[in-house]
Amino acid sequence: MAKNNGKNGGFFRGVVLGFVVWVLVFAGLSYAFPIKPKGPQAVVSDIAQSDPQGFDVASDGTTGSGVVIGGTGDSVALPVLQEPIESTTEVQAPVVEAQSTGTPDIGDGDQSTQTVQTQTIEEQGAEAVNAASDESVVAVESTPPPALQDLANGSAIDVFSASFDVDPTKQVMAIILLDTQEEPLQPLLDTGVPFSFAIPADTDDPNAGRGFRDSGYEVLAMIPEVISNNGDMAATIKSYIEHVPVSVALIDNSFGSVLRDEAASKAFFEVVSETGHGAISFAGAGDIRAEALALRSGVPFGIITRVIDSDPDPFIIERALDRAALAAQTGGSAIVFARTRATTIESLVKWLRGDRAAQIQIVPASVVLRR
């Protein structure tokens, strides 16, 4: 009996000792790994998770700033990376209310569900205005360069184009004349025809073209054959615009000094698409590339298909005008080019009285560019 009691007592002591050891281990683990209360967790979409490094810094150097989109149910926190803005005005991230349908709800123009904020970005800079509508549009106002302030009210082709009523029963042709200042222009002006006058874009005259524009004629800036390019073609094109500030369009020269070059032509169309100028090329001088770039950038574009005074003979000039008018009748429009030389002026005045001229309508250049 004594032997059995000893075995039973040993078993009991083993159970007690095991329990004590288990309690001590549990207490130690609880102390080493305390249970913390769960806080709100951010659910980041798969797009944000694919590149988490791009969403971890706010404008003040802290993390977690961003736009919160949510309602009842699921919520999505999208942190926003913001560049530091040097300003005395504190810029806060806008909050957009939306339904929790898995995609943001930009609203239907209801002011009760959208917040429109106007923030001053710089002391004398642009104002960003968020419009509450089906498509939110941010309008940025800025001060143009002094030489381009005439364009503040619209694009160049709208601001400086001549008012003209097009006859819908006739096809149209534009006659662009490069003013060589060799001969008096009064015989041309007395015809009452709306010629368009090209001014060399490297002129030093600060009032270049204003006399023609004030008299109701359209003015175009013609790029010189030799371009002074300092490595920044965009800056060069802007300087040409500033030299002829009332121009409706820019004409590349007959050699295609700009439009034949791929990089230069891209810079050219970037500038004129911003200022709202039209663009004109001579046929065979980069016109194919230029037409494609103009279509892509939304720039009004035209091609000069004929130089009517390549030969100064009056008979040849009149025949060239006849062929250009026929091309306008068959193709819908045409653009011709000439210089204000004595034989050109005489031949033009004579041709304008003839039957072929009466079959078409001579129009300002902007009319053809917009067709």
Residue 190 CA, distance from chain mean position: 41
Distance CA 190, CA 319 (A): 23
64 in any annotated domain: yes
Overall number of domains in the chain: 2
Question: Which of 84, 109, 140 is where one domain is finished?
Answer: 84
339 in any annotated domain: yes
Q: Residue written as tokens 């060799």?
A: 182
* Cβ atoms of residues 344 and 336 within 8 Å: no
pLDDT tens, residue order, the chain (371 aa): 444 555 556 777 777 777 777 777 777 766 666 655 544 444 434 433 444 344 343 444 444 433 333 333 444 343 443 444 444 444 444 444 444 344 333 334 344 333 334 344 344 444 443 443 344 333 333 344 444 445 555 899 999 999 999 999 999 999 999 998 889 999 999 999 999 999 999 998 888 899 999 999 999 999 999 887 677 999 999 999 999 999 999 999 999 999 999 999 999 999 999 999 999 999 999 999 999 999 999 999 999 999 999 999 999 999 999 999 999 999 999 999 999 999 999 999 999 999 999 999 999 999 999 98
Question: What per-residue confidence (pLDDT) applies to 324?
Answer: 97
Same domain, 74 and 164: no
35 in any annotated domain: no
Question: What per-residue confidence (pLDDT) applies to 40?
Answer: 45
Domain residues for the domain of 161 are 148-369
Same domain, 155 and 77: no
Same domain, 294 and 176: yes
Q: Indicate which CATH number applies to the domain containing 250.
A: 3.20.20.370
Same domain, 201 and 326: yes
342 in any annotated domain: yes
Non-local CB neighbours of 58 within 8 Å, separated by 6+ positions? 64, 65, 66, 79, 80, 81, 82
Same domain, 225 and 357: yes
Same domain, 246 and 154: yes
Distance CA 334, CA 285 (A): 17
Residue whose C-alpha is closest to residue 173's, from 301, 332, 340, 280 = 332
Same domain, 245 and 162: yes
Q: Between β-strands 218-222 and 196-200, what pairing exists: parallel, antiparallel or unpaired?
A: parallel
Question: What per-residue confidence (pLDDT) applies to 33?
Answer: 62
Same domain, 177 and 79: no
What values do phi and psi take at 214, rounded to 5?
-65, -25
Question: What per-residue confidence (pLDDT) applies to 22?
Answer: 74
268 in any annotated domain: yes
Same domain, 240 and 152: yes
Residue type, 33: F
Same domain, 71 and 206: no
Same domain, 220 and 353: yes
12 in any annotated domain: no
Residue ranges of alpha helices (H) inside 57-141 are none
Question: Which of 34, 67, 84 is where one domain is finished?
Answer: 84
Q: What is the 3-state composition of the chain as percent helix, strand, coil, each rounded to the nearest 5?
A: 35, 15, 50
303 in any annotated domain: yes
Fill in the DSSP letter of residue 309: T
What values do phi and psi take at 218, rounded to 5?
-80, 150
Question: What per-residue confidence (pLDDT) applies to 75?
Answer: 40
232 in any annotated domain: yes
Distance CA 282, CA 292 (A): 15
Question: What per-residue confidence (pLDDT) applies to 42?
Answer: 41
Same domain, 187 and 325: yes
Question: Which of 84, 110, 138 is where one domain is finished?
Answer: 84
Q: Residue written as tokens 């770039």?
A: 293
